[in-house]
Structure 1
């Protein structure tokens, strides 16, 4: 068993209230989310960054690695966990939790899948892209993150930060500990990230499974926008680089949506320039 519906249905009413009233925007943190055997096996088969297929997101606003090629994701994570969390039954559970009807799972796991970051990795504060890159009527609504980090002390950093909508301060910090889930609304001002470089030892990485959910809307009924990275109040001159990089990402997102460019392309470009250094 991957996910025990009977257990979580008992707390669903309370979880729903907590989710929908949470600040700075609707979210929920749950521990011991997957059945323990499933979480342990997912960690056991989690691939190394050196394995085939990883996309290396290395630029001003992030330093992390992602794998979203379904055929290269280990079978248990792909056909067990991801399949279950994209199933109609789980979608109904999410709809009840979030209060958002007609959620759609992204079977292509575009931008999601499995992620990990090495020592020095980070993800600047941002609000996510608003539209599926290849489905222009799909509005992004909900993120689900499952953390798989055993023995992860606070000193390593890497806590997920949820920021106030006016970017005045961090409102919530969530440690990325083993078998913890975070679910949150992805509105235009749902700012989040882990902006300070993590300090885990070499050979240890911050691991997660990331899934995104959408609703189908009328064309033109909402604004298409790329990932909106934001500077923190204490970022100083770094804010200029954050802004410039954000504009470059917006151009890439446009090309991706209109010309069919994928993340493999940008990964190869970034890796080329990394090797030139």
Structure 2
């Protein structure tokens, strides 16, 4: 199975690198038809495996409501092949040329990444992702890569990825989560993104994606900076307070993961009850 058409991407290298560098509100690129269409279709076909119903962890708190799968060995074989290709030295070299970020490392644990599923009513508040790996203490997070898997997505369902300016004063761009659309952007203290409005897709539909995060070994422990959620400026004061309270709870959880050894599976088994 062909996964990435490197010849086609090579033809667009100058265009894509320039688009990434010049994009607002922070560097990013949006590439349609990113994977070989058969490879993207294979991920979608394997997305909900009837023999792996326990693959999904529940991310349910005030700032997000979604399902995630991070155990690569429980994903379908073709999905595993795609993740391996997007973690390969050849692909990492392409990412480094496009972004100017050197020393990229894939995350074998898919911490916070992997397959994401957001069902009707689900959402992800505007945020900056965690800036250092929870367990690999020398790793700083450098880059996000998102591939959407939604055929025939009606934009009235919502779910567009919103990109906000670093001061969280305005939404600058949004991109619909269309099938085989890839969005790549750096993980920085100002790369605010999310889809805060709950999905209005029909029951049984969901917003599906593959998320991969890339790191760099800095040679010394990195300060643990958990996901920084923010309320939108037009939202009421009480919501700003709830977003902040949940953010601090998540900060405590992240510190427990790093320093106490708390694992996601323990919390997610509890969240499945809600």
Q: Output the TM-score relative to the length of structure 2.
A: 0.96
Please state if 1:226 is matched with 2:240.
no
Give CA deviations for 1:190-222 in whole Å, capped at 9, x if unaligned. Answer: 1000000011101111000000001111425x5
The separation in 1 between residues aligned to 2:55 and 2:7, in whole angstroms, is 36
Partner of 1:190: 191
- Indicate yes or no: 2:33 matched with 1:32: yes
Q: Deviations along 1:98-147, whole A, 9 cap, x unmatched?
A: 10011111111111110011000100000000111101110001000000
Q: Is the 8 A contact 2:30 2:184 kept in 1?
A: yes
Please state whether the residue corresponding to 1:171 is helix, strand or coil: strand
- What is the CA-CA distance between 1:262 and the residue it aligns to? 1.5
TM-score, reference length from structure 1: 0.95
Per-residue CA deviation, residues 32-88 of structure 1 (Å, 9 max, x unaligned), is 00111111121111116982121100110000000001121111101x210000000
Deviation at 1:270, TM superposition (A): 2.0
RMSD: 1.3
Alpha carbons 1:52, 1:72 under 8 Å: kept: no
Aligned match of 1:12:
13
1:150 aligns with 2:151: yes
Q: Deviations over 1:162-211 (max 9, x none)?
A: 10000001111010000000000110111000000011101111000000
Partner of 1:111: 112
User: Partners of 1:224 and 1:20 in 2: how far apart?
Assistant: 27
TM-superposed deviation, 1:228: 0.3
CA distance in 2, matches of 1:71, 1:177: 26
Alignment check: 8 A CA contact 1:47 1:74 kept: no
Q: Are 2:176 and 1:175 aligned?
A: yes
In the other structure, the counterpart of 2:266 is 265
Distance 2:178 2:76 in 1: 21
Matched residue of 1:256: which SS?
helix
Q: Contact (CA 8 Å) 1:148, 1:208: kept in 2 or not?
A: yes
- Which of these residues, 71, 74, 81, is aligned with residue 72 of structure 1? 74
Structure 1 unaligned spans of 5+: none
Query: Offset at 1:271?
Result: 2.5
Look up the SS of the partner of 1:131 in the other structure.
coil
2:4 paired residue number: 3
Partner-residue secondary structure (3-state), 2:177: coil
CA distance in 2, matches of 1:48, 1:239: 38
C-alpha distance in structure 2 between counterparts of 1:175 and 1:37, whole Å: 21
The structural deviation recorded for 1:152 is: 0.5
Size of the aligned set, in residue pairs, is: 271
- Asked whether the 8 Å contact 1:3–1:33 carries over to 2, the reply is yes
Q: Unaligned stretches of 5+ in structure 2?
A: none
